[in-house]
Amino acid sequence: MNKLLLISLLFIQQLSFAAEVNVYSARKEALIKPLFDQFTKETGIQVNLVTGEADTLLKRLEVEGRNSPADILLTVDVARLIRAKESGLFQQTDSDVLDKAIPEYYRDSDKQWFGLSLRSRVIIYAPDRVKASELSNYADLANKKWKDRICVRSSSNVYNQSLVAAMIANEGLEKTEAWAAGLVKNFARKPKGGDRDQIKAVAAEVCDVALVNTYYLAGMLASNQEDEVEAAKKIKLFWPDQAGRGAHMNVSGAGILKPSKNKKEAIQLLEFLVSDYAQHWYADTNYEFSINLAIDSSSILKSWGDFKADKLNLSLLGKYNRDSVLLMDRVGWK
């Protein structure tokens, strides 16, 4: 073989392995790396992953500024995506693939962030102490009949903040504050722990109902820890507000960062994450609902039946996030 040709081939091969994309992820490595590995297998593009707490990653990006090596920020809850946008961290991303796969209300109107998977904040209950017919919607949880019967996480939890923000967007500030004040009066204990702790508390008869994200319950049902499975089997899921707007929805999502030096590869990765393969993986492994409404859910998610989802534009959750935090402080939701 001609020596010059050999050198050229080796140079081209080196270039092919040089393709990469750098991701800062608030999702745990085990919940996202297998997808990135499959992406690399299919495209040859190396994914360099840095994981951490969402707020820590946002601060890191702000400190790094234009010198950040990151191409993509992947995080959970739309409030953090909007916070990143408002901080000027994202850039516009044009992709027909993303626009087609993701419903308009689950992506940014300025094309700066995109929902990649769905979760719902629902009511769970103890069927031996609560009848499904007693439940209806989020608003009803402020009813006096639930006094000393509700468990929930702290107001510092972004999932609760987004739920309250959605209620402000739908019902207005005054009505939502009255609801939150009534809810606080019905707490069985001071807010503490995570969503799995709320499930365990209902199972242990500390309270009768709780607010949790769907994937926590699914994860406990599929757990290899016997105590988690036993606790999850003692409770049932109720889809709120099915006669009205539908159950509150939120997303995990991502956006391409302004300093990105690998935008082409970053777009390819985001497009891969809305592919049939990735969306099925989200459902089967993370127990999240597909952002692509044409994709079937996992067996556990299917067992809960069809439900009506609130189609509120998620950008509004960021708009009202500060109002939700101040509101919860005022009513004593610690």
pLDDT on residue 3: 52
Per residue in 216-242, pLDDT (tens digit) is 999 999 999 999 999 999 999 999 999
Reported as a pLDDT band with limits 50, 70 and 90, residue 298 is: confident
CA pair distance 105, 97, nearest whole angstrom:
16
pTM of the model: 0.87
CA pair distance 161, 177, nearest whole angstrom:
13
Reported as a pLDDT band with limits 50, 70 and 90, residue 319 is: confident
CA pair distance 253, 288, nearest whole angstrom:
12
The CATH number that domain 3-118+250-296 falls under is 3.40.190.10
3-state secondary structure of 294: coil
pLDDT on residue 31: 83
Query: ∠ CA 225-227-233 to the nearest 5 degrees?
Result: 105
Task: Tell me what the pLDDT averaged over the chain comes to.
Answer: 92
Cβ 257 vs Cβ 71: under 8 Å:
yes
Reported as a pLDDT band with limits 50, 70 and 90, residue 129 is: very high
Question: Which CATH code of 3.40.190.10, 3.40.1370.10, 3.40.30.10, 3.30.1180.20 fits the domain covering 120-247+313-330?
Answer: 3.40.190.10
Task: Tally Cβ neighbours within 10 Å of residue 182.
Answer: 18
Reported as a pLDDT band with limits 50, 70 and 90, residue 35 is: very high
Tell me the domain boundaries of the chain.
3-118+250-296, 120-247+313-330
Cβ 165 vs Cβ 78: under 8 Å:
no
Q: Measuring CA to CA, how many Å separate 215 from each of 119, 250, 303?
A: 7, 12, 13
CA pair distance 134, 167, nearest whole angstrom:
21
